[in-house]
């Protein structure tokens, strides 16, 4: 049960990140977003 919840949360986190990245792409990537993508 908890594994399924974790999987769901990870999936929603990934979706959130994708939405944020898409939003940043529209606005021009923010400095924080660029650092995140580079893993800094």
Q: What global pTM score does this model have? A: 0.43
Return the pLDDT at 40.
65
Cβ contact 12:24 at 8 Å:
no
The per-residue pLDDT for range 11-40, each reduced to its tens digit, is: 888 888 988 887 777 766 566 777 787 776
DSSP strands (E only) in 1-40: none
Write down the domain spans for the chain. Answer: 2-38
Return the pLDDT at 28.
61
Return the pLDDT at 5.
86
* Residue scoring higher pLDDT (26 or 2): 2
- For 21, residues 6+ apart whose C-beta sits below 8 A from its C-beta are 33, 37
């Amino acid at each position: 049960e908890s594994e399924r919840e974790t999987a769901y949360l990870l999936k929603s986190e990934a979706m959130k990140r994708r939405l944020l990245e898409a939003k940043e792409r529209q606005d021009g990537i923010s400095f924080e977003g660029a650092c995140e993508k580079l893993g800094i």
